[in-house]
Structure 1
Amino acid sequence: MRSQREELELLIEAARGAAEIAMSYFGRSPEVWMKAGHSPVSEADYAVDRYLKSVLLAARPGYGWVSEESEQPRTGNIEDAQSRFFVVDPIDGTRAYLRGEATWCVSLALVSKGRPVAGVIHAPALSEVFLATEEGAATCNGRPIEVGQRWGEGAGEALSVAMPDQLRGRFERLDPPLRDAVTPAKAVPSLAYRLALVADGRLDATLIRPRCNDWDIAAGDLILKRAGGRLVDTNGQDILYSESPNRHGVLIAASEASQGLAMRLAEGLAPITR
């Protein structure tokens, strides 16, 4: 079996090529269609997806494939020690991409036994590349990164927490001790990039509304973990991934120091249902 470093190098090269393709369409009004659920997909998404599938499966023909823009993948078994599969979002943050904003990325992860073992988040319009393996440190452009160490109440400075805009009104109605311990930060459309911001300490935490998919979070999950944080559900459990991709409930991403307060915030804003 290949080392995690070898797997990461493959993801890095694939993400670099994917970023070049995505940038060739960026700001040039690519053709757009609406998927079920009224989310946009562009010819750039499809072009990047085709490239990644070709390159990654040619290099690892025995591996499985899960991508937002591909047909339903074959079913995998997270208990199978030999089961490895790619989890890919060709352009995460398509709405931002189509608006000409920079906060979108190519998000690639390799999963083994239900958990990511290598991950890359490449944000080419920002010239940022976040990397991690299960055994190594998380980095941004080669610089080691780590989550912030603030924990909120009594810490002298409020936690910066990205949350969906639809929750702002509900947040303002929270009791003062909890409300005053948090400063709402604007949530960027790309969940992968938002997780990278938490990993890099630029955000203390983010709340993720229900119905996000594996490809939105797999790479960011690993990068955040290796930077000292965690992505968990409302029961505090880690996320498991399979070749039959999941849609998740409310998720909380935070440093270990701020996890408790972020969990309380999610409870205070419940139900976060839409």
Structure 2
Amino acid sequence: MLEASRRAADIAMAHFRQDPEVWYKDNGRSPVSEADIAIDRLLHDMLLAARPDHGWLSEERADTADRIGRRRVFIVDPIDGTRAYVSGRPDWCVSIALVEDGRPVAGVLAAPARGEVFHASAGGGAFLNGVSLARDTGSEPGARLRIAVPEPVARHMSPEAVASLDNVPAGPSLALRVAAVASGSLDGVFIRPRASEWDLAAADTLLGETGHVLFDHRGEPMAYNHPDPSRGLLLAASRAQAPGLLAMLEPSDGH
């Protein structure tokens, strides 16, 4: 997976800031570049050649029911943050995850324009550029939490709850936002509904190895390889902070 991410990063950087060809899907809302397609092809061919018994789920490839019956599934976003990528901003990444029985067991996020590579494996720790990420030890008593709260989520919180947090602007790559929780740059990230498994699986592996969790609004941990890969509201945070942050959502919220 690391070798595949390096080759994918080379493709991405060859097109980056070179005016790549771009198409739009989802009624014109979501850009897809020629680099997305080339990286998807590389990852699909390289990873499944190595593990032909594994299933496959990618943002840029038609989904099939075949993956549902597989114990192990690769879940890939060739470029997470394509809108930033095509506009020449550096906050995007190649996201590669391996899921086993619905849980992420290995993940790589390669962000070459930022000079960053995150990777993690279940029980093997999490790393940024080869340096081990520390496990969460909790925030200082009374410290304000640095949380990314998208506006659609903030509308379901009281003004007092929002004011009690240092609301950090969300970057264009959801995977890198979640990785920032694992690395300690953020205390938490609320994730608006309709995020997909390919946005989250690799970064979720980092969370699991640093004492953090990815919960839905009911406090249930994220599970993968569902027939529908999209999700409702989610929260990435430390195990200690997650219950209090989820409690900030209004009881009448319909997530």
Pair in the same fold by TM > 0.5 = yes
Q: 2:150 aligns with which of 149, 152, 164?
A: 164
Query: Structure 1 25/245 Cα, relative in aligned 2: closer, same or farther at 3 Å?
Result: farther
Query: Structure 1 126/270 Cα, relative in aligned 2: closer, same or farther at 3 Å?
Result: farther
Alignment of 1:14-93 (within 5 A): 14-37=4-27, 38-77=29-68, 83-93=71-81
Query: Structure 1 27/269 Cα, relative in aligned 2: closer, same or farther at 3 Å?
Result: farther
**Aligned equivalents of 1:270, 1:16: Cα separation in 2:** 46
Q: Which residue of 2 aligns with 1:4?
A: none
Letter matched to residue 114 of structure 1: G
Q: Which residue of 2 aligns with 1:174?
A: 158
Aligned residue-pair number: 254
Query: Structure 1 102/148 Cα, relative in aligned 2: closer, same or farther at 3 Å?
Result: farther
**Aligned equivalents of 1:243, 1:234: Cα separation in 2:** 18
Answer yes or no: is 1:114 the counterpart of 2:102: yes
2:65 aligned counterpart, secondary structure? coil
Q: How far off its partner does 1:218 sit?
A: 0.5
Q: Deviations over 1:193-247 (max 9, x none)?
A: 1111000000000000111111000011111111110001011111111163521
CA RMSD of aligned residues (A): 2.2
Q: How far off its partner does 1:144 sit?
A: 1.4
**Aligned equivalents of 1:49, 1:147: Cα separation in 2:** 32
Answer yes or no: is 1:98 the counterpart of 2:86: yes
Q: Which moved more, 1:238-247 or 1:119-128?
A: 238-247
Q: How far off its partner does 1:148 sit?
A: 4.9
* 8 A Cα contact 2:144 2:164, kept in partner: yes
Q: Which residue of 2 aligns with 1:6?
A: none
Q: Which residue of 1 aligns with 2:191?
A: 208
**Unmatched 5+ stretches in structure 2:** none
Q: Deviations over 1:18-64 (max 9, x none)?
A: 01100111111111111125211111110111111111111111211
**Unmatched 5+ stretches in structure 1:** 1-10
Q: Which residue of 1 aligns with 2:179?
A: 196
**Aligned equivalents of 2:252, 2:18: Cα separation in 1:** 40
State the 4+ residue runs in structure 1 displaced beyond 4 angstroms: 147-152, 165-168, 269-273
* 8 A Cα contact 1:103 1:125, kept in partner: yes
Q: Which moved more, 1:159-168 or 1:46-55?
A: 159-168
* 8 A Cα contact 2:56 2:67, kept in partner: no
* 8 A Cα contact 1:75 1:244, kept in partner: no
